[in-house]
Amino acid sequence: MATRLSDVAARAGVSVKTVSNVINDYPHITARTRAKVEAAIAELEYTPNVSARSLRKGRSDFIALAVPEMASPYFAELGAAVSRAAKKRGITVLIDQTEGEAAGEKLVLDGMRGQLIDGIIFSPITTSPAKIGSADTAKPLLLLGERHAGGTFDHVAVDSVQASFDATTHLISIGRRRIAAIGVGGGAGTGSVRRKGYRKALKAAGLEVDPTLEVGGPGYHREDGAASMRELLALPEPPDAVFCFNDLLAIGALRALADAGLSAPKDVAVIGFDDIEDGRFHSPSLSTISPDKEWLAENAVALLLDRIAGSAGRRDSAGNGEADRVDLTVPYTLQIRESTGG
């Protein structure tokens, strides 16, 4: 049914080896031969069988991106950026939805899709760093997220402590003094990392840390943010500002404010983290920490592909694995919009 390499060879009057050479851009082919082969490929509408190629080469030019949920705007935007970055390099991205479950994440670590994929970019949420560190992955693995810095794998993330410090400091700079944090107990450890930056900023400004103002988690969705905001508004002394550990929480918080007849930034200033597109269109528009997702995607893909190219010869990385591990820090900016009075 499908045309094969040998059909093309027959049509062009050359050997299969020559056709293969043309397809794989090997040197030492005369322009004339190349033209003949390319004409035959076009006439027969030939497309190489990737299963056969992958079986033979041990490389598929597929990588996986494993995220908790692809419908979550941050991961959807990240997935789009990673797909684009990979496509530029001739690589296809498989997006894997772990649903944040240990089972799904274990599958990622163990199965690696039956050797189809060459490597994986993994944003874990349930599995602990320790377990990931000891995972016996046959393929290169790159970790996303602040929790995994200093581990045994390559790692790309924002400096979350610094970014959280900046977000909190911004709230202080617009005159707020009773600043809450939403999301401290969640996000796969993200909560504790971002709280660290939040507390640091309070202390640097001589403000007291009040644990009753640190709420939320483990959920990081809009409804969780709304619930946390309601909780804060019910306090004897409600906050005058809130740092939400992601934009989804912040959007929920804005909604809860509106439901209570209050508004940001007048009653409570609100800042988020992620800069998902929707935040720009809310009323009020959402101030946020904006990690450079394009940068993240480009560098994560490039680094993983380097590893894949390098690991072709390696049997075992135990010997030199630790030494050449890379931690990349994603640049970010502070976006000041209406929700903090911008």
Comparing CB distances to a second copy, the nearer of 4 and 196 is: 4
* CA atoms of 336 and 20, how far apart (whole Å): 55
Span of 143-151, 212-220, 253-261, 319-327 interacting with a second copy by CB under 8 A: 253-261
* CA atoms of 218 and 195, how far apart (whole Å): 14
CB 61 within 8 A of CB 118: yes
CB of residue 285 to a second copy, shortest distance in Å: 8
Any contact of residue 47 with a second copy (CB under 8 A)? Answer: yes
Binding letters toward DNA, positions 6-35, x by CB under 7 A: x-------xxxxx-xx-xx---xxx--x--
Binding letters toward a second copy, positions 117-146, x by CB under 8 A: ---------------------x--------
Any contact of residue 71 with a second copy (CB under 8 A)? Answer: yes
Residue 15 binding: pick among DNA, a second copy, none (C-beta 5-8 Å cut-off by kind): DNA
CB of residue 56 to a second copy, shortest distance in Å: 9
Annotate 216-225 with b (16+ C-beta within 10 A) or e (fewer): bbebbbbebb
* CA atoms of 168 and 205, how far apart (whole Å): 10
Residue 24 binding: pick among DNA, a second copy, none (C-beta 5-8 Å cut-off by kind): DNA
Any contact of residue 43 with a second copy (CB under 8 A)? Answer: no
Count of residues near a second copy by CB under 8 A: 52
Span of 49-57, 117-125, 204-212, 292-300 interacting with DNA by CB under 7 A: 49-57
Q: Starting at the earlier edge strand, list the strands of the sheet with 119-122.
A: 92-97, 62-67, 119-122, 141-144, 154-158, 327-330
CB of residue 295 to a second copy, shortest distance in Å: 16
How far is residue 182 from each of residues 119, 201, 236, 249, measured CA to CA in Å?
35, 15, 18, 7
Instruction: Fill in the DSSP letter of residue 45.
Output: T
Instruction: Fill in the DSSP letter of residue 289.
Output: E
